[in-house]
């Protein structure tokens, strides 16, 4: 500590450089190794084949489309549930706010693997209980592997904390009560208030909520694999045994794409904020 105690003996620049270098080493070496692993093999030398071949490999398009579909359904459902709830809490029932906060933090407390164990169990029990009733067909349809609606329900729970935080940040920046009262006094109907007044003001918060959900659903493995479905992340693991290069290529691509997506979103919302 002697070097640090005398003021200015250690210029801040030097340890900053050291931290940057170590962090770059730790975070970029695995990434670089993975990229190298995908483009090089001892038989052919350098080739981009794993990346070009991805598109035509069996299961890639199907699993990616399933993931995108699940993500779209999750986003629509979670926003349809959360927006009215959060606006209600701000306008009419502030007492409900702590309840909403707890509900939206719970998914962070419950590990996904614990959640899915209970989820799977309740699906199995439901299957038995509903077998003699007409609802059995409904449940079976919701569990179909082509589009498992039950997975959407689980994902909505999973993304609640992220969506809550994003929407809360957006609602903080505007005076919901004044806007709504002004619009209502001018004779606007509730749907009009919602779609023409509130939602346009929340555009960047909605976008970040949607993209966080998209990223989360695209990368989700635990619940999908244990419930026996095969969206993108599960597919990557499934092919890793037979096509190692390709699974690493898909991993690299998906992380870089999600990062670019989120970075562009935060760039857009910052530009708006500075205007």
Interacting residues with other proteins between 211 and 240 (CB under 8 A) = 212, 215-216, 218-222, 225-226, 233, 236-237, 240
- Measure Cα distances from 100 to 87, 107, 179 in Å: 11, 12, 22
The encoded tokens of residue 113 equal: 């693997």
Q: Does 131 bind other proteins (CB under 8 A)?
A: no
Q: Does 114 bind other proteins (CB under 8 A)?
A: yes
Q: In angstroms, how far is CA 192 from the centroid of its own chain?
A: 29
The beta-carbon contacts of 174-179 under 8 Å, at least 24 apart in sequence, are 174/201, 174/202, 176/87, 176/90, 176/91, 177/90, 177/91
Q: Does 93 bind other proteins (CB under 8 A)?
A: yes
Nearest to 169 by CA among 275, 95, 274, 273: 273
Q: Does 59 bind other proteins (CB under 8 A)?
A: no
Q: Does 65 bind other proteins (CB under 8 A)?
A: no
Q: Does 262 bind other proteins (CB under 8 A)?
A: yes
> What torsion, rounded to 10 degrees, do the Cα atoms 155, 157, 158, 162 define?
120
Stretch of residues binding other proteins (CB under 8 A), selected from 50-58, 63-71, 166-174, 259-267: 259-267
Q: Does 142 bind other proteins (CB under 8 A)?
A: no
Neighbours of 79 (CB within 10 A): 19
Q: Does 206 bind other proteins (CB under 8 A)?
A: no
- With CB under 8 A as the contact rule, the residue among 138, 189, 195, 267 that binds other proteins is 267
Stretch of residues binding other proteins (CB under 8 A), selected from 61-69, 133-141, 149-157, 179-187: 149-157
Least Å distance, CB 60 to other proteins, is 15
Stretch of residues binding other proteins (CB under 8 A), selected from 54-62, 66-74, 80-88, 177-185: 80-88
Stretch of residues binding other proteins (CB under 8 A), selected from 47-55, 56-64, 139-147, 262-270: 262-270
The encoded tokens of residue 93 equal: 């029932």
Residues 154-193 that bind other proteins (CB under 8 A): 154, 156-157, 160, 162
How many residues make contact with other proteins (CB under 8 A)? 85
Q: Does 137 bind other proteins (CB under 8 A)?
A: no
- Measure Cα distances from 206 to 80, 86, 100, 193, 266 in Å: 11, 13, 18, 16, 12
Angle at 106 between CA 102 and CA 107, to 5 degrees: 140
- With CB under 8 A as the contact rule, the residue among 64, 70, 75, 100 that binds other proteins is 100
Least Å distance, CB 75 to other proteins, is 15
Neighbours of 234 (CB within 10 A): 23
Neighbours of 174 (CB within 10 A): 14
């Amino acid at each position: 500590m002697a070097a640090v105690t005398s003021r200015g003996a250690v210029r801040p620049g030097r340890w900053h450089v050291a931290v940057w270098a170590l962090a770059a080493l730790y975070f970029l070496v695995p990434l670089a190794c993975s990229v190298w692993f995908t483009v090089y093999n001892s038989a052919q030398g350098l080739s981009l084949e794993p990346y070009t071949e991805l598109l035509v490999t069996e299961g890639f398009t199907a699993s990616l489309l399933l993931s995108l579909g699940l993500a779209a359904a999750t986003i629509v459902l979670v926003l349809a549930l959360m927006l009215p709830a959060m606006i209600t809490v701000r306008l009419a029932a502030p007492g409900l706010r702590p309840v909403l906060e707890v509900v939206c933090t719970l998914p962070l407390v419950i590990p996904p693997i614990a959640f899915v164990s209970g989820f799977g169990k309740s699906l199995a029990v439901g299957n038995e209980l509903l077998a003699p009733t007409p609802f059995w067909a409904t449940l079976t349809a919701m569990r179909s592997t082509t589009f498992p609606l039950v997975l959407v329900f689980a994902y909505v729970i999973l993304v609640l904390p992220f969506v809550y935080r994003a929407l809360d940040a957006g609602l903080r920046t505007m005076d919901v009560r004044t806007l709504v009262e002004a619009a209502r006094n001018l004779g606007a109907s509730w749907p009009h208030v919602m779609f023409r007044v509130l939602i346009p003001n929340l555009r960047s918060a909605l976008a970040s909520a949607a993209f966080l959900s998209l990223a989360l659903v695209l990368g989700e493995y635990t619940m999908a694999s244990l419930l026996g479905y095969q969206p993108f992340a599960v597919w990557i693991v499934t092919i890793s045994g037979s096509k190692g290069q390709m699974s690493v290529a898909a991993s690299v691509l998906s992380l870089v794409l999600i990062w670019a997506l989120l970075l562009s979103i935060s760039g857009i919302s910052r530009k708006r904020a500075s205007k």
